[in-house]
Structure 1
């Protein structure tokens, strides 16, 4: 009995010991799980807090520094650190921030950040070393322990803010009124193929109204054009006429008037232009929005936000008219009495045929919309993300002169190449003001003096105009007939020819050293800014060089420069004798011709060529630049 009681007591004591041990083990495990859970939760919260710091720092650095190329790395780091400090993250004491400007691109369907001093994105990498855990810290105190007491945390954020500008280089064709130049009427009449009453161009502000590309696309439906099924690329590439573009503009503006947004705008101007474009005799080509606007980035995509940029209606229509006339040889009817009144006695020498003016548009200008900065990988002459060109054209001015003892057909031709302007940077100030920086390389040019017929040759070749065709067209010298007539020939003939070419660095790559123009807005300046090239090769200098390079040859008995020796073959012999032996005797004749030509050529350049070039947006040796609008999208995290 006593043995049984002892056994029972032993079992109870053993069970109590086992329960105590189990309780200790279970309690320890529970405590360990709690510690691990607390440590894991603490590390998760620290990581989340660190990510919030990085996100806010990146977004605030972009928002406060602006976007669009450039930007001081030190200033970006300061903005990021200030943002982090407001979120309880002070650099130092195992905390650090790394701030970098760059750009984001698509690679294999994924967004990738690349460092780029001209980029519009900012990457912030935040690092913080925190205590690993309570147990790890206790273990780290033991001798010989290699358990780390600190755990490094890292958070990365990339923020971007799209910034887009619309700008032009000499496209304000419809921004001028009749007082600006007596040549505006004939020029617009030639472009439209009809007469246009220029009273409609009196300043009224309608042509300064801004239209966004999105409004133009949506306006297609207002005139019965359904482009919803073709997507944005189809809309940009769809061919329309100038009249249809005017239809869309009228429909959009009429809708604004009815909604009260525009007030009581008089749309008579646009309706007159509509009528002129529909009834004109000139065969205008179809154009597309993509021909008028340079939109696509280096990847061939239209950047988001570009559709919201406002375009000046007058600039858009001016570019459209030149694009629709590409390849046409325009004949402008200019009366001698109207244009050359200031020539004085020289005007009396111009034949009743008056002036002959021919205009060939080789490449029309464009309005550019896009971001600022350089391309990471340049494409040929394209080194910048957004570029725009001024018109490339050929302008011929000629007149038939009847002098006392001689008559001649005078031809003066100016071949103007495309100038280029690029969007260097866009910045936003703390007060919301924006600044746009443009760089410009003014147009190349060449001036030729020769026979009117040969200078007009490209315009009679079926309207096939391009730079190579015009350059390769032979230029014949001016034939001056002395003591004779066109039908009977002359005893003495004089030929005159000259050329002058303006260089501009030998290429069309725009560099940081090229002339710069700064614009601040909004509101953006209503008038363009003129930027002059370093070389200053203006039209006046070219004509002076032209007159200094006159090549005057004298021929007797019908000898000429094409190998014909005239009567009995003696013309060539006498021609050599005259030019090599007795040329000095005829110096007074040469000097007289030079004295007669110099004021006439100069006057034609100043009164006809220069005003027409300006109306078309070209100033030789300089460029007219204008920022039309700048749009900045919301700051967003992209990585």
Structure 2
């Protein structure tokens, strides 16, 4: 042992073996880790491009877009994963948590991974390759503006004038031609808001600041006139601005600009256009004016001796605008609850007149954005709509609680015919329960450009309201049994049903919503460019 310990032969071989392993280790550290880092950086650049390519493509073509990109870069051994979700650009959230996987809400995350060959590292690890991965998040803001309960009205008789006069609380002195001009005119919404800001001293302010400001009806109508391309409609709106009261209009209850809220400039003209009449009607209904309107067409409706109409418009639900700009389904618009009572008299030869009160109520319809699809120049928008249920009745209505939308004003049977020795009572009621099923409505490029209104009908909807009620009415005779009196009343009501249905249809169109139906309009769409956000 003493001789062995003192023998120095072969020491260089041992040191060489030890240093060789160290040299291999340092080589692996310098070369292999360098190769892994270089490969990861290159893969990160490809991942960024892949995320942008996928975000710029339709959902069914995202994988194909990534495959083409990888093939163009000669990367056949890369695997990819696409995860849709939502990106919240909130400074209070740490960057790695801003992307939330889930339903496709305009953002997606792309993860790429590939094996990288090892040179010296395989001696230490026993593996020929090591995996590297890269991830990127891209976002595209595709926006659509849509409104609920807007319909191009059929201007007839003095009904439109009486309705708008009642909502405004003053005589607007508009002719049938004036209403037709308003119905055919479009208001460019964003320039209107920008011009409104100038009128109230908020030049250069963001849209949300202007919408939240104190705006009066005259100021709003003047801004609408400046933002419509029809000179005749502009002149009518300016004349109306001189006649309406100075009531304040809470525009935030009408318009939700969503992603455009903090914008201070108009991105493009004609991006969001709204019907001038619908905008006027909704503005008057939320202003500090009348929410109950009494109309008296008198005997101007052929087939009816007299007609009186009472209209009540409920408060719009909180945070549910009439028109919204959205990029996902988180924004829901709802209509206000509406009621109207048509009280008519029908003449019967040799008898007293028949009084026929028809009560119609619509609950709140709803709509939300389902998706925006941008494939090249072709744009399509899908809207989910939930039509409104309603209540129809021929009954006695307590007008003292007509404005109370929390309870029904129907109290029971009503007297249809009053004679000296007998009375005929009548009652009919149809409650249209909501089927609670959202229905999808697709708008193509032509629908969007033409501002086409699509009507979604609930399964429980009734066509021919007056005819349906008269068909279901129950008649009861009180007093002397005059021969065939109930039959005479029933026979007298049948011919006036089409007349009353036409009147109900005209009034529904003026109010913007039919019973059991939801009218949806896409007022504009913008397909944004893909942006890398993480």
- Which secondary structure does the structure 2 equivalent of 1:336 belong to? coil
CA shift, 1:160, in A, is 1.1
Counting only pairs closer than 5 Å after superposition, residues 426-445 of structure 1 correspond to structure 2 as 426-429=372-375, 431-445=376-390
1:225 maps to which residue?
A: 201
> Hey, what does 1:416 align to over in structure 2?
362
Q: Does 1:57 align with 2:50?
A: yes
Q: Extract unaligned runs of 5+ from structure 1.
A: 1-25, 66-70, 141-145, 254-261, 373-383, 460-464, 484-490, 557-577, 579-584
**Residue 254 of structure 2 corresponds to residue 358 of structure 1:** no
Residue matched to 2:84: 101
Distance across 2 between alignment mates of 1:204 and 1:317: 9
- The Cα of 1:421 is off from its aligned counterpart by 2.4
Partners in 1 of 2:184 and 2:217 — Cα distance? 18
Residues 302-328 of structure 1: CA deviation (Å, up to 9, x unaligned): 588998551325243332233237752
**Secondary structure at 1:279 match in 2:** coil
The equivalent of 2:342 in structure 1 is 397
> How far did 1:113 drift?
2.6
Q: 1:207 aligns with which of 185, 191, 194?
A: 185
Matched, 1:477 2:422: no
Q: Is contact 1:222–1:251 with CA below 8 Å preserved after alignment?
A: no
Matched residue SS, 2:53:
helix
- The alpha-carbon deviation at position 52 of structure 1 amounts to 0.9
Q: Secondary structure at the match of 2:56?
A: helix
1:97 & 1:305 partners in 2: Cα distance?
Answer: 39
Which residue is 1:547 aligned to? 470
Shift, 1:41, TM fit? 4.1
Separation in 2, partners of 1:313, 1:544? 32
Shift in CA distance, 535/29, structure 1 to aligned 2, threshold 3 Å: closer
Which structure is higher in helix share?
1
Aligned residues between the structures: 503
Going from structure 1 to structure 2, the CA distance change for 1:534 and 1:408 (only over 3 Å counts) comes to closer
Q: How does 1:255-334 map to 2 (within 5 A)?
A: 266=231, 268-280=232-244, 285-295=247-257, 302=261, 309-314=271-276, 315-324=278-287, 328-334=291-297
1:102, 1:587 → 2: CA distance?
73
What's the offset of the Cα at 1:523? 7.3
2:391 — aligned with what? 446
Instruction: State the alpha-carbon separation in 2 of the partners of residues 587 and 37 from structure 1.
Output: 112
Q: Tell me how large the CA RMSD over aligned residues is.
A: 3.6
- TM-score, structure 1 length as denominator? 0.70
In structure 1, the partner of 2:75 is 89
Aligned-partner SS, 1:58: helix
Partner of 2:138: 159
Gaps of 5+ in 2: 1-18
Other-structure match for 1:606: 501
1:509-520 superposed matches below 5 A: 510-511=437-438, 514=439, 516-520=440-444
Asked if 1:406 is matched to 2:352, the reply is yes
Give the deviation of 1:167 after TM superposition: 1.3
Q: Report what 2:7 is aligned to.
A: none
Q: For residue 171 of structure 1, report the CA deviation from its aligned partner.
A: 1.7
Deviation, structure 1 residue 295:
4.4
TM-score (norm 2): 0.82
Query: Which residue in 1 is equivalent to 2:431?
Result: 501
Distance in 1, Cα, partners of 2:265 & 2:254:
14
- CA 523–494 in structure 1, closer or farther in 2 if over 3 Å, else same: closer
Deviation at 1:89, TM superposition (A): 2.1
> What is the CA deviation profile of residues 98-153 of structure 1, one whole-angstrom value per residue up to 9, with x for unaligned ones?
12222224685124333324332121111122134x4324x35xxxxx45442221
The residue number in structure 1 matching 2:527 is 632
Q: Residue 370 of structure 1 contacts residue 386 of structure 1 at CA under 8 Å; is this kept in 2?
A: yes
Aligned residue number for residue 190 of structure 1: 166
Residue 468 of structure 1: SS of its match in structure 2? coil
Hey, what's the Cα distance between the residues in 1 that align with 2:499 and 2:457? 24
1:124 aligns with 2:110: yes
What is aligned with 2:450?
526
Q: Cα distance 1:526–1:547, how it changes in 2: closer, same or farther (>3 A)?
A: same
Aligned counterpart, 2:323: 367
Matched, 1:594 2:490: yes
Q: Distance in 2 between matches of 1:56 and 1:305?
A: 31
**2:38 alignment partner, one of 37, 41, 45:** 45
Aligned match of 1:170: 149
Q: Which range moved further: 522-531 or 121-130? A: 522-531
CA distance in 2, matches of 1:239, 1:408: 49
Task: For residue 537 of structure 1, report the CA deviation from its aligned partner.
Answer: 1.8
Shift of 1:251: 4.4
Shift of the 125–185 alpha-carbon distance from structure 1 to 2, 3 Å rule, reads same
Alignment-derived partner of residue 400 in structure 2? 457
Question: Is the 1:428–1:435 contact (alpha carbons within 8 Å) kept by the matching residues of 2?
Answer: yes
Q: Deviations over 1:514-553 (max 9, x none)?
A: 3x3221226724253443435262341x434422332333
- Whichever of the two has the greater Rg, that structure is 1
- Contact 1:390/1:617 (8 A) holds in 2: no
- The CA distance in 2 between the partners of 1:35 and 1:500, in whole Å, is 83
1:535 matched residue in structure 2: 459
Aligned to 1:486: none
